[in-house]
Amino acid sequence: MNFICTVDDKTTPEMFDNHMLNMFSKKQSVVLHINAIKCYGIRFKTVMKLMPIIEKHRENSRKYLKSTKISVPNKFVAKVISFALPFIKSEQPVYIDTKCKL
């Protein structure tokens, strides 16, 4: 099953949590596609604010999440997310797709 989660600069941790709850409520294997094309103001701090949500859903991620693909607007955002990934400690592959060039 594919699950598309669209986020932008106004997405809150609570909104992201609702996406995760919805995705894991189906109790099926899933490939997560995060559409972050409209995220231009992302910073390391922004990504790290999602850590409690990611930890909350860690067990379901182990069970159901097969991989994650994140589509971003440019190389800068891709670098910010790439820098944060080791802190998140994802157990499944995470692929970052840059749609636009700087």
What confidence tens digit (pLDDT) does each residue in 4-30 have? 999 998 999 999 999 999 999 999 999
31 burial type by CB count under 10 A (0-12 exposed, 13-18 middle, 19+ buried): middle
23-61 per-position pLDDT tens digit? 999 999 999 999 999 988 888 888 888 889 999 999 999
49 lies in which domain range?
Answer: 2-98
Looking at the DSSP bridge assignments, the partners of residue 31 are 2, 67
pLDDT recorded at residue 100? 58
Interatomic CA distance for residues 74 and 29, integer angstroms: 29
Count of domains in the chain?
A: 1
**What's the CA gap between 92 and 47, in Å, rounded?**
18
Do 84 and 47 touch, CB atoms closer than 8 A?
yes
Residue 98 contacts residue 78 (beta carbons within 8 Å): yes
Among 11, 18, 17, CA closest to 36: 11
Residues 6+ apart with CB under 8 A from 58: none
Q: Which token pair is 63?
A: 């069970």
